[in-house]
Amino acid sequence: MEAAGRAGQEMSLAALRRHDPFITGIADVTGQVALYSFSPKDNEWEKTDIEGTLFVYKR
């Protein structure tokens, strides 16, 4: 199972490097996140249309 996880991480790293060639490694990853924006006018958080996997990586 560890080999499969490592292979998946290498694929993710290769895909991320297409956007940022200076990536040296993945520090952390979470499978599902959603971006919210705060509206001072309404004093509440509003969900945006941005959702997906979040990668924290090292350069």
3-state SS of the chain? CHHHHHHHHHHHHHHHHCCCCCCCEEEEEEEEEEEEEEECCCCEEEEEEEEEEEEEEEC
pLDDT of 4 over the 80 cut: no
Average pLDDT over residues 25-30: 94
pLDDT value of position 8:
83
pLDDT of 2 over the 90 cut: no
Q: Has domain 2-58 been given CATH number 1.10.1740.10?
A: no
Q: Are 19 and 53 in contact (CB under 8 A)?
A: no
Average pLDDT over residues 27-55: 96
- Tokens at 34, concatenated: 């959603």
pTM value is 0.72
Average pLDDT, the chain: 92
